[in-house]
A and B are shown apart, each in its own frame.
Chain A
Amino acid sequence: MSAASALLKSEARLLARNPGVVIWTAVLPVTASIVLAAIPAIRRPDDSLGGLSFFQVYQPILVLFAITLLAVQALPDVLTRYREMGVLKRLRTTPVSPALLLFAQLALTMIVSVACMLLMVIVPALAGAAWPANTAGFLLAYLLAAWALLGVGMVIASLFRNAKVAAGFGSVLFFVLMFFAGLWLQRPLMPTWLRHISDFTPGGAAAQALTDSAVGHWPGLLHLGVLAAWGVVMSIVAIRQFSWE
Chain B
Amino acid sequence: MSIIDVRGLRKVYGTRAVVDGVSLAVEEGEVFGILGPNGAGKTTSVECVGGLRRRDGGTITVAGMDPATESTAFREAVGIQLQESRLPDKQTVSEALELYSTFYCHPRDWRELLERLDLADQRRTYFGRLSGGQKQRLSVALALVGNPRVAILDELTTGLDPAARREVWSLLEDLKGTGVTLLLVSHFMEEAERLCDRVVVIDHGRVIAADTPEGLAAGVAADERVSFVPSAPVDPAVLEALPDVHTVSVSADRMVVTGTGDVAAAVIIALHDRGVSVTRIRVDQPSLDDAFVALTRI
A residues apposed to B, CB below 8 Å: 1-3, 6-7, 10, 13-14, 17-18, 82, 85-87, 89-90, 92-96
Contacts and interface: CB of A to CB of B under 8 A. Distances in A.
A127 B72 CA distance: 54
Interface in B137-174: 142-143, 146
B80 A93 contact: yes
Contact of A6 (B78, B99, B105): B99
B85 interface: yes
Nearest to B96: A10
Given A13-B95, A93-B82, A85 B88 contact: yes
Contacts of B105: 95
Contacts of A3: 102-103
B90 A90 contact: no
Contacts of B90: 14, 17-18
A14 B103 CA distance: 18
Contacts of A87: 85-88
Nearest to A10: B99
B184 to A, nearest CB: 16
B156 to A, nearest CB: 15
B76 interface: yes
Interface string B66-106: 00000010011011101011111011000100111011110
Given A87-B86, A89-B82, A93-B75, A10 B103 contact: no
Interface residues of B, number: 27
B221 interface: no
23 contacts: A3-B102, A3-B103, A14-B90, A85-B85, A85-B86, A85-B88, A86-B85, A86-B86, A89-B52, A89-B82, A89-B85, A90-B82, A90-B87, A93-B50, A93-B52, A93-B75, A93-B78, A93-B82, A93-B143, A94-B146, A95-B103, A95-B104, A95-B146
Given A10-B99, A14-B91, A95-B76, 17 more contacts: A7-B99, A13-B95, A82-B88, A85-B86, A85-B88, A87-B86, A87-B87, A90-B87, A90-B142, A93-B50, A93-B78, A93-B79, A93-B80, A94-B104, A95-B75, A95-B104, A95-B146
Contacts of B84: 86
9 interchain residue pairs of minimum CB distance: A86-B85, A93-B80, A95-B75, A6-B102, A96-B103, A85-B86, A17-B90, A94-B103, A95-B72
A94 B95 contact: no
A165 B100 CA distance: 30
B63 to A, nearest CB: 14
Contact of B91 (A2, A10, A94): A10
Nearest to B74: A95
A92 B99 CA distance: 14
Contacts of A17: 90
A211 B110 CA distance: 52
A56 to B, nearest CB: 41
Contacts of A7: 99, 102
A85 B146 CA distance: 21
A87 B52 CA distance: 14
Nearest to A95: B75
Contacts of B99: 6-7, 10
Contacts of A10: 91, 95, 99
Contacts of B88: 14, 82, 85, 87
Contact of B102 (A1, A13, A82, A93): A1
A243 B50 CA distance: 17
**Which of A7, A18, A87, A93 neighbours the largest number of chain B CB atoms within 10 Å of its CB?**
A93
Contacts of A94: 75, 100, 103-104, 146
A42 B118 CA distance: 63
A73 B90 CA distance: 20
A2 B82 contact: no
A92 B80 CA distance: 10
A155 to B, nearest CB: 23
Contacts of B82: 86, 89-90, 93
Contacts of B142: 90
A169 B123 CA distance: 38
Contacts of A2: 102
B91 A90 contact: no
Interface string B175-186: 000000000000
B80 to A, nearest CB: 4
B67 to A, nearest CB: 11
A103 to B, nearest CB: 15
Interface string B44-62: 0000001010000000000
